[in-house]
Chain A
Amino acid sequence: MARRPDRPGQRELPSRKGSCDAPPSTTELVIRNEIPQLALLSAAIERIGREHALAQKPLVQLQVTLDEIVSNVIKYAWPEGGSHEIRIQITVDAGNVKVDVADDGMSFDPRNTAPPAPPPSGQRRRPGGVGLHMVRQLMDSFEYTRIGGWNHSTLTKQCTIGTHTK
Chain B
Amino acid sequence: MGASTLQISEVRAGQTCILALAGRIDSTNADQLTARVGKLFEAGEKNLVVDFKEVLYLTSAAFRVLLVATDDAERSAARFALCGVLGHVRELFEMGGLLDAFTIHASREDAIEQLR
B70-110: which have CB < 8 Å to A?
70-71, 87-88, 92, 95-98, 101
Tell whether A35 is near chain B: CB-to-CB under 8 Å: yes
Q: Which of A38, A67, A137 has the most CB of B within 10 A?
A: A67
B1-37: which have CB < 8 Å to A?
1-2, 5, 24, 26-28
User: Are A40 and B67 in contact (CB-based, < 8 A)?
Assistant: no
Complex Cα spacing A166 to B101, Å: 25
Tell whether A68 is near chain B: CB-to-CB under 8 Å: yes
User: Are B95 and A39 in contact (CB-based, < 8 A)?
Assistant: no
User: Are A133 and B95 in contact (CB-based, < 8 A)?
Assistant: yes
User: Are A64 and B67 in contact (CB-based, < 8 A)?
Assistant: no
Interface size class of B (residues with CB under 8 A): 20 to 34
Q: Which of B63, B95, B98 has the most CB of A within 10 A?
A: B95
Complex Cα spacing A123 to B92, Å: 22
Complex Cα spacing A137 to B71, Å: 28
Complex Cα spacing A138 to B1, Å: 25
Tell whether A134 is near chain B: CB-to-CB under 8 Å: yes
B61: which A residues are within 8 A, CB to CB? 67, 71
Complex Cα spacing A108 to B47, Å: 42
Measuring CB to CB, which residues of chain B are less than 8 angstroms from any residue of chain A?
1-2, 5, 24, 26-28, 56-61, 63-64, 67, 70-71, 87-88, 92, 95-98, 101
